[in-house]
Structure 1
Amino acid sequence: MRFRYDLARASAIIGRMLLAASTLWILLATLDLVRAEPIDPAALRVVDGDTVAIGKVHYRLVGFDTPEMRGHASRCDPDRALARAARDRLRGLIAAGGVDLTEVACSCRPSAEGTRDCNHGRRCGTLTAGGRDVGDILITEGLAHPYPYDWRHPPKPANWCGVRR
């Protein structure tokens, strides 16, 4: 009887150890996937002040918002000038090198991620230049507003020109 008890106990301990090891392996693999990767500045194209692209993949940079450069969201000349300034500043930050892009989950409805209903089909990411978040830099310089997006409580659009949207 004693032998069966010890064997069952040992099997349970080994099972728990295997479960813990596989959980740790999955966690480490996941962390490796979300780690920022150094980017060659020449591979990164600035679309506007809060959107970049690598090849055909577009990333909406999260945590901040810049004015739109064109279309219905661009309402006045100062708005468009600020949009160009944000775009140009982002280009300058990237050109200086030391750029890391980390893809993050978008804050859209879970079923919408990866579709046009979530950030117009763009992926989401954070971008650092020289170890600093580019959103923080643009906000500090008055070229962007904080934009803590959450689909359950979307913020009101920024009022860049004093025009109600």
Structure 2
Amino acid sequence: MSGPDFHYPGRRTVRRRRPVHGRRTVRPNLWLTPVMAVAFVAALATFQRFPGGAEAVSSAPAPSFFAGGEGAAGRDALSARFALCHSGGGRNCVVDGDTFWFAGDKYRIADIDTPETHPARCAEEAALGDAATDRLRTWLNAGAFSLESAGRDTDRYGRNLRIVTRGGTSVGSVLVDEGLARPWEGQRRPWC
């Protein structure tokens, strides 16, 4: 047998027909690409907001996001890329030397007081406030950190009061050591 023709002795040649198929083109499902990209970014944002991945999303109550108590130094699991807040609220940005937005919530560092920048009362306070703001942003962007309870949950402006630590060291103590902040004394004092 060779090819599509068959010849049997004493019979006529039978020619087989090949089935006729329409030409099919394979088209990629281009609409699926943006849908998958959005799903990937949403999943990434969820895991960034909730430390510990899927387990934290499904089983951990909200207060467990804040490290504190025993073994707090090993639990630095929060991180983001922080910019400077230009106006109003933000997602991950630094307002001034003791206030920042993280994952859509506003935080006040509970253990320090830094110079005001909005508005500063004198040129020295403005310069020191800008330096404290830049230092806080640099520190937050340097790696994972923890938010520890400070006793009171919020201040009179509705900001979450937390002590911000990395490896058990408070960013407040770093700013105080560098001369960019004072330990919190229960009230603000002038910087001019």
TM-score range, shorter chain: 0.5 to 0.7
2:130 corresponds to: 84
Deviation of 1:75 after TM superposition, in Å, equals 0.6
Alignment counterpart, residue 163 of structure 2, candidates 97, 111, 126 = 126
2:77 corresponds to: 38
1:17 corresponds to: none
1:140 corresponds to: 177
Q: 2: CA distance between counterparts of 1:130 and 1:92?
A: 16
On the 8 A contact 2:79/2:140 being kept in 1, the answer is: no
Q: 1: CA distance between counterparts of 2:165 and 2:113?
A: 16
Q: 2: CA distance between counterparts of 1:81 and 1:47?
A: 15
The C-alpha deviation readout for 1:121-152, integer Å capped at 9, x for no partner, is 11110101343100000001100011132xxx
Unaligned runs of 5+ in 2: 1-60, 69-75, 83-91
Whether 2:189 is the aligned partner of 1:158: answer: yes
Unaligned runs of 5+ in 1: 1-28, 107-112, 150-154
Q: Give the count of matched residue pairs.
A: 116
Q: 2: CA distance between counterparts of 1:79 and 1:102?
A: 28
C-alpha change, 1:119 and 1:48, in structure 2 (3 Å) is farther
**Structure 1: 4+ residue segments shifted above 4 A:** 29-34
1:54 corresponds to: 102
Query: Normalization by structure 2: what TM-score?
Result: 0.53
- Please identify, of 97-106 and 56-65, the stretch whose mean Cα deviation from structure 2 is larger: 97-106
Q: Which structure is richer in relative contact order (CA contacts within 8 A, separation 6 or more)?
A: 1
Q: 2: CA distance between counterparts of 1:88 and 1:97?
A: 15
C-alpha change, 1:146 and 1:84, in structure 2 (3 Å) is same
Whether 2:115 is the aligned partner of 1:67: answer: yes
The C-alpha deviation readout for 1:22-51, integer Å capped at 9, x for no partner, is xxxxxxx99846425521232642211001
Amino acid at match of 2:148: T
C-alpha change, 1:102 and 1:83, in structure 2 (3 Å) is same
Q: Secondary structure at the match of 1:124?
A: strand
On the 8 A contact 2:66/2:147 being kept in 1, the answer is: no
Q: Secondary structure at the match of 1:105?
A: strand
Query: Normalization by structure 1: what TM-score?
Result: 0.60
C-alpha change, 1:134 and 1:51, in structure 2 (3 Å) is same
Q: Secondary structure at the match of 1:120?
A: coil
